[in-house]
Amino acid sequence: MQRRRFLGLAAAASALGLTGALSGCGTLDAESGDVTLKLIAADYDLGGGDSTKKYWAGVVSAFEAKNPGVKVQVQIESWNDVDRKVAELVKAGQAPDIAQIGAYADYAAAGQLYAADELLSIRVQANFLAPLVAAGEHKRTQYGLPFVASTRLLFFNEDLFDKAGVSAPPTTWDELAAAARKLEKKGVKYPFALPLGPEEAQAETMMWLLSGGDGYTDATDHYKIDSEANVRTFEWLRTNLVAEGLTGPVAPGKLNRKEAFAAFARGEVGMLNGHPSLMQEAEKQGVKVGKIALPGASGKARATMGVADWIMGFKQNGHRKEIGAFLDFAFSDENVLKFAGDNDLLPATITASARMESDPEHAGLREFLQALPDAQLPPVGKTSWAQVSGVIKKDIGQAVAPDAKPAEVLGRIARAASTAESAE
């Protein structure tokens, strides 16, 4: 996967000439006729409220005021349903004009999406953070437009660290294991929570593969799941954490992320790999949350995992200009910052990230923002990824079982991945 390093978000924005330059985007010329766009978007309100609906209503109202010939109808769906409903509409020949969902690659491969450069102004397209651009590409063309992002850090419970006599957060695997042993001796239920259960095991796995110096794919974007470095990573996990009883009472292969996060928020977990929303929830419940870059085998991990949700424009109704104008408008700094800030997520653009990083109101997100320019994302541009991800979710927990041979488990997953890849 392509990776480009930014020496600082503000400096990058200045170098690209983007600072303050996006507010005028998103206006059509007077010749545009009357068009109604349909937008289907995911609901990010974890509390069951209507904040997502209100956000899009505000964006649409402001856009329509600037573009009186265009109306935008918004349909909000839960994350449990939104991908399925969009897929059903596309299959029925009733694709929305715009969808904000979790994946784009299958639609790109089927020729159903506009490419980014068919929709966006140059300034808006150039403003996306580089790792997110790379992750939004299918066969070297960008179709997925990153809507919001997040990164992962090592979370630790500061009070439990103090009680266990852990004086500093770990920066290497050996230090992590040593801290977990001290936590275990003090009776901490989960010294290190390792959720390799089927809910989100592909994400936990990727974080550890990156920490071990490798990842899911090689420089040519082909799967290499059973590489020597990846096998060493899982051998270390099995031997130094799981076999030593440092991962808690639930076997990692049966522990889902939701349960691990809930346990952390209850103060039962010493350490785990976490994201921004967990930080907020744990602090609400009185947990003093410490955060640090993921430890690596011998120092800071070479990269952390990034995650993005996507927005895309469908070709079916032929509204390229109108879709492009709306998306240009939606990616203004004001809109991007409001949505990311309201949901404890990270902006997908350089200029909005720079503004958030300098804003004291978002100081708690600063470490996540600083990790984003060098983050690596799962290979979501590969149409095989959904199938491969499913295999990882089902099988990876076996790699750290007491009698397991990680090389054999990773080898089985790698063979399944190669088969899926060959069918792309």
Residues 6+ apart with CB under 8 A from 186: 160, 163, 164
Query: In terms of residue numbers, what domain contains 36?
Result: 9-151+307-374
pLDDT in tens, 8-38: 454 445 444 554 445 446 666 545 568 999 9
Residues 337, 408: one domain?
Answer: no
Over range 33-57, report the average pLDDT: 90
Q: What is the pLDDT of residue 32?
A: 52
CA distances from 213 to 229, 382, 393 (A): 7, 22, 21
Over range 219-226, report the average pLDDT: 95
Residues 168, 108: one domain?
Answer: no
pLDDT in tens, 287-339: 999 999 999 999 888 889 999 999 999 999 999 999 999 999 999 999 999 99
Residues 161, 285: one domain?
Answer: yes
pLDDT at residue 381 greater than cutoff 90: yes
Establish if 190 belongs to a structural domain: yes
Average pLDDT, the chain: 92
CA distances from 126 to 13, 116, 262 (A): 10, 10, 38
Count of domains for the chain: 2
Over range 358-368, report the average pLDDT: 92
Establish if 1 belongs to a structural domain: no
pLDDT in tens, 330-362: 999 999 999 999 998 999 999 999 999 999 999
Residues 191, 139: one domain?
Answer: no
Q: What is the pLDDT of residue 302?
A: 80
Pick the residue with more confidence: 22 or 94?
94
Residues 238, 194: one domain?
Answer: yes
Q: How confident is the model at residue 45 (pLDDT cuts 50, 70, 90)?
A: confident
Q: How confident is the model at residue 2 (pLDDT cuts 50, 70, 90)?
A: very low
Q: What is the pLDDT of residue 29?
A: 57
Establish if 251 belongs to a structural domain: yes
Its pTM stands at 0.86
Q: What is the pLDDT of residue 338?
A: 96
CA distances from 83 to 71, 99, 161, 309, 311 (A): 23, 9, 41, 11, 12
